[in-house]
Structure 1
Amino acid sequence: MALVGLFFFYGYAQDNEIIATSWSYDQIHNLESKALENEDHESLERLVQVHVKKAAAEHNVIEKARAFYYKTILEETMPALIYADSIILITKTSPHPNYPALGYALKGHLHYQAGNFQLALNNYLEAYNLSLKKDNVEQQREFALAIAAIRNIYGQHYAAAELYNKSLNILKTKKDFENTYYEDYITLLYNLSLTHLRLHAVDSARYYTNKGISKTLEFNDKANLQDFILLDA
């Protein structure tokens, strides 16, 4: 597979495209991930072309949406938003638990990066509501964090704290969540500490800060430990 991938990357031609469309979606996903990780956008663009062609030929809406996801990474903001809208359009009736919410979340992310916070918030709220309808707990947790970040930007710290607490409660339903989802847990503790400081709720802020200090010490996580120590100060 590695040799086929290299042949495709560096000897791309029409015959290679025919070979590539015979790959499984898992093979295409792996190569796309590697190209993205290596910041090899030229190869990623070619792989996405194959991905779209294969998905269209097989009338596989979800795989086409997954290919469009990479398009939102490769393109500038405005074209990327068009691909995000395409994801929403082609998956709007899909029973898949991740769609079309993911399309709205991508639009939220793109608007957030562009500094269009209200548009970002609108799209994240739509994504969150769809995740509730499909009982997608992972998406609910992820989108709640994004909404809370924007609420904080607008000075709506009580609303942000409520969303962070919701995310923490969802995380607590996972087995051994403090260790298995360590990074997510630490991020939530930090955000809860900071948000309560903004609310001048010092005792609550110290409660989450102390939990963060204790956990980062346990993991010998010096970078995050320093952040919590600064908050405590």
Structure 2
Amino acid sequence: MRIKYFILLFILSNILNAQSNTAGKKPLEKNTYQELENAFYNSKPDDIDGKRSIAKYYVKKAKSEKNTTQIAEGYVMLHLDETLPNALKYLDSLQVITKNSQENYYPARTFLLRGNLYYRSNNLQAALNNYLLGLKYAKEKKNKRQIAMADISIAYMNNYIGKHAETAKTLRYYLYNGDYMNEDERNNMRLNLADTYIEINKMDSAYILIQEGLQISKRNKNVYSYHQNLGLLGYYNLQSKKYQKAIDNLLECKKYFFESGNGSKRNENYTLLYLGKSYAGLQEKDKAIAYFATVDSLVQKTNYVYPELREMYSYLIDHYRQIKDKEKQLYYVERFFKVDPILHSQFRYISRELPRRYDTPKLQEEKESIAAELQNRKTLFYIVLSLLLVSHLLFINFYFKYKRTEKKYKKIAQDLIHSVNENKFKKDQEIKTGFLPNPFSVEDEHAEDKTSKTISEDIAHAILKELETFESKEQFLTRGITLGALAKKIKTNSRYLSEIINTYKGKNFATYLNDLRIDYAIRRLATDRKFRSYKIPFIAEELGYNNEQAFTLAFKKRTGTPLSIYLKEIEEMKVN
């Protein structure tokens, strides 16, 4: 369809399809600039005089106030409903007055507006030149919105020369990523993307977008947008060979576009063209010929030409050849020869200039972007590789350090086990003392040579005797035992008991208690298979500890090796 019903003309002056006109509610001189703009853009399309009077007053007001920004806006409004020569003069004035503008949308805005103007006038060569200039300046000012507008307008040029897939790619990108586009622009993009999908035979995707557009226009009560979507649905049905459905859609559009006066040249031409093609599909040749003849009269009246005319004139020529109407056959041959050179010239220019001036620079940008991305990837690769190498070295270092430590732990555990085995068959009295003659005992072996300076020998001897009983009867396994509780049990006071332990045992009470428990654990775990089959929390509780963590920490502090290593070595040495 090559964007025939609803070419998206990106007028940067924020043209809105409003539902009501607020102009006339108060005199123009009572309005602000914003109110004047709203009145202008909300006016009915056919109210040319009303819109022109608003635009002229707008410029007059801006000039009297020497407001350059508003003068520029006034020129934008003035050019919209003028003939091509007059519209170009207003845009020339816009270019002059914004020459030194600091706004980031100039001068790109002027070129894009001029491109739209030429496009509406069917001068595709001039339109392309201006779109490319607009794109250039938009990129210089880094205006994302204007870059999008230029890209989309140029995409329609690609569509014109048959690059439908590229057009679809651009429209799809901006439809789903252009969050800076307004609702009307998104609706138009949806229409044009659906149209392009039909061209590349993605009919299901096209149908979904058309139905979405119909629902949105109904919800917003936008009659014009509804008929745009309905016209596209007619084209969809035509391409799907559902000719009667297409006719039903297009006849409703014909009634709206022609009778309401809201139709553009494109609306009118393509509505009639596809009605003719639909009737041709039903083999109703008389109706098809009638519609095609009407299209030809519109082309002569408006000088609006488009590629599908070739197929239409071929149909007319073949028809009159078959019925041997030489006069009509010659007429349409001559009409074909008038239209075809124009189409050929436009196609040749667009197909030559687009790749050279748009596609090639764009590919160069993509090349530079890809090269930069690859370089970044290469840099990132080396950084990651370096980090992996460092981490690998650290891991190796940690591994060997761990192995050395593990070897040390295993040696300590083995020594403990050997110590237990060596003392296993000693005298009953030695066993009852609860002390293991191992290298980890920090008790003072010459404690008997020490005497307390504050406690008499008799009292010290009595306390030591009680401690011997405390150890031999394994009372240290009692949970929650304290210095005070033990002192009370052996009928002395805490100070005396603490001093005796420090003097004769070489440690404080907490260490003394922990050492007794851990030495007991060392011995029993090595000799009692059933005991070591219990879970660690249960063993800890049996030894008088409140929790597993307290036990394992105390074990490693006392022995120098983790409990897990000790248990593992016991199993490996097959200790019974």
Q: Verify same fold: TM over 0.5.
A: yes
Cα distance in 1 for partners of 2:120, 2:22 equals 37
2: distance between equivalents of 1:3 and 1:111? Answer: 31
Gaps of 5+ in 1: 9-18, 195-204
* Cα pair distance change 1:186/1:80, threshold 3 Å: closer
Q: Structure 1 92/171 Cα, relative in aligned 2: closer, same or farther at 3 Å?
A: farther
Partner of 2:193: 188
8 Å CA contact 1:69, 1:83 repeated in 2: yes
Is the contact made by 2:68 and 2:97 (CA closer than 8 Å) also made in structure 1?
yes
Q: Distance in 2 between matches of 1:216 and 1:46?
A: 37
Aligned in 2, Cα 1:31/1:130: closer, same or farther, shift over 3 Å?
Answer: same
Q: Which one of the candidate residues 33, 41, 44 is aligned to 1:33?
A: 41
Going from structure 1 to structure 2, the CA distance change for 1:126 and 1:192 (only over 3 Å counts) comes to farther
Identical counterparts, % of pairs? 24
The partner residue of 1:105 within 102, 112, 118 is: 112
Match of 1:166 in 2: 170
1:147 aligns with 2:154: yes
Q: CA deviation at 1:23?
A: 2.8
After superposition, the C-alpha distances for 1:162-196 in whole angstroms (9 at most, x for unaligned) are 35423321332246x9x9934422322322542xx
Q: Which residue of 2 aligns with 1:130?
A: 137
CA distance in 2, matches of 1:220, 1:6: 33
- Give distance in 2, aligned partners of 1:120 and 1:27: 32
Counterpart of 2:78, as a letter, is K
Deviation at residue 3 of structure 1 after TM alignment: 9.6
What is residue 206 of structure 1 aligned with on the other side?
201
Letter in 2 for 1:211: S
Shift of 1:38: 5.4
Distance 1:130 1:228, change over 3 A: farther
- Between Structure 1 and Structure 2, the one with more helix by share is 1
Task: Give the TM-score taking structure 1 as reference length.
Answer: 0.71
> Residue 98 of structure 1 aligns to a residue in which SS?
coil
Structure 1 residues 137, 210: CA separation in 2 closer, same or farther (over 3 Å shift)?
farther
Residue 227 to residue 138, structure 1, CA distance change in 2 (3 Å): farther
CA shift, 1:218, in A, is 5.3
Q: For the Cα contact (< 8 Å) 2:55–2:74, is it kept in 1?
A: yes
Is the 8 Å Cα contact of residues 212 and 225 (structure 1) preserved in structure 2? no
Q: Structure 1 residue 114 and structure 2 residue 121: aligned?
A: yes
Task: Report the alpha carbon displacement of residue 121 of structure 1 after superposing the two structures with TM.
Answer: 0.9
Supply the RMSD in Å over aligned alpha carbons: 3.2
Residue identity opposite 1:169 in structure 2: Y
Note if contact 2:193-2:206 (Cα within 8 Å) is conserved in structure 1.
no
Q: Which has the larger radius of gyration?
A: 2
- CA shift for structure 1 position 90: 1.6
Q: What is the aligned partner in structure 1 of residue 64 from structure 2? A: 57
1:5 matched to 2:24: yes
Number of equivalent positions: 204
**Once the two structures are superposed, what CA deviation does each residue of 1:88-118 show, in whole Å capped at 9, x if it has no partner?**
2222332324332222122222222333221
User: Alpha-carbon deviation of 1:232?
Assistant: 5.0
Q: Which runs of 5+ in 2 are unaligned?
A: 1-20, 216-228, 242-576
Name the TM-score, length of structure 2 as normaliser. 0.32
